[in-house]
Amino acid sequence: MNKDLTKKFSSGHATCAGCGIPAIVRTVLGATDKPVIVSNATGCLEVTTTIYPATSWKVPYIHSVFGNAAATAAGIDAAQKALEKSGKLKNPAKIIAFGGDGGTYDIGLQALSGALERGHDFLYVCYDNEGYMNTGGQRSGATPYGANTETAPVGSQSFGKTQQRKDMMEIVKAHGIKYLAQANVAYLPDLKRKAQKALNTPGPSFLLVLQPCTQIWKFPTSEYVNIGKLATETNFWPLFEISAQGGSALGGEDYKYEINHIPKQIKPIEEFLKTQGRFKHLFKEKNLEVIKEIQKTVDENFEKLAKRAQIS
């Protein structure tokens, strides 16, 4: 694999200090030696890496609008297949679409669903920082229950977001794709292995990668790796992959779930929540029940995952 990670994505971008997005991009792009074409939705990654007249991208790159990264990837795939059929292309590129959670869970869900359902050959990578961070920290479908955001603020009548986050992995799996995985920027070797596997899987594949946001989660810029690890050590963000086991892969019974990291000692969710300003209000007496509800949901979700992975 390409050891010089700056050959495809250079330094000099404008991401915030303490942002893990560049590490995610370099790790995914470095997981293949084949030519790569990138489709990138509007969001933190796009606006910080393409400030005119400069760019950090050293591979063919298309900036798509907020909701269209997957549709653009689908168009690239269709074009490559047409060129292959006519004999004009012998070495098709790997197609990678990058989008944040706003452009994946919400605005881009329709385009993503269509591209997955049609079976286009591409990898979709969602860097999930759990909100619309590029526009000031509004809640998204990925924002956790109880978080304080610009559009679900804490106040006398509210403890923050009152809805649970979407289960994006199960939504994507329902499209019958052959490989998808949940990863974390704090565990880059695991992410690289999953990116290699995804890029070697025919048809669509999907990576959901946790990306702690120092600005809107409100924590010191030096702490993003530690907070990412806490997300996994509390089972808030387990590392796992789902692989189709033959057939059409349209039924849940055709899938294998594998948990890639089980903490030796599972930490209580408070250890994760207390590191971030977006949850500080939950530690007031009147909101302690919200923390209990979050812990209950985390425990139930991991129990479901463990059952699917056949871990007792």
* Cα 155 from Cα 143, distance rounded (Å): 18
Q: What is the pLDDT of residue 287?
A: 96
Q: What is the pLDDT of residue 262?
A: 92
Residue 13 placed within a domain: no
**Residue 266: other Cβ atoms inside 10 A:** 14
Q: How many domains does the chain fold into?
A: 1
Torsion of the alpha carbons at 129, 133, 139 and 141, rounded to the nearest 10: -40
**Residue 218: other Cβ atoms inside 10 A:** 15
Q: What is the pLDDT of residue 294?
A: 98
Residue 211 placed within a domain: yes
Residue 14 placed within a domain: no
pLDDT digit string, tens, across residues 164-205: 999 999 999 999 999 999 999 999 999 999 999 999 999 999
Residue (of 15, 205, 229, 232) closest to 121 by Cα position: 205
Residue range of the domain that includes 157: 21-308
Residue (of 153, 74, 154) closest to 108 by Cα position: 74
**Cis omega (within 30 of 0) on the bond before 53?**
yes
- CATH number, domain of 159, equals 3.40.50.970
Residue 16 placed within a domain: no
Residue 10 placed within a domain: no
* Cα 262 from Cα 150, distance rounded (Å): 34
Residues 68, 108 contacting (CB under 8 angstroms): yes
Q: What is the pLDDT of residue 29?
A: 97
Length of the chain: 312
Q: In whole angstroms, how far apart are CA 250 and each of 164, 174, 247, 255, 310?
A: 26, 7, 8, 9, 20
Residue 61 placed within a domain: yes
Q: Which residue type sits at 236? A: F
Query: What letter would DSSP give residue 217?
Result: I
Residue 4 placed within a domain: no
Regions of the chain short of the pLDDT cut 50: 1-2, 249, 251-252
Q: What is the pLDDT of residue 1?
A: 47
Backbone angles phi, psi at 231, to 5 degrees: -60, -35
* Cα 67 from Cα 41, distance rounded (Å): 7
Residue 15 placed within a domain: no
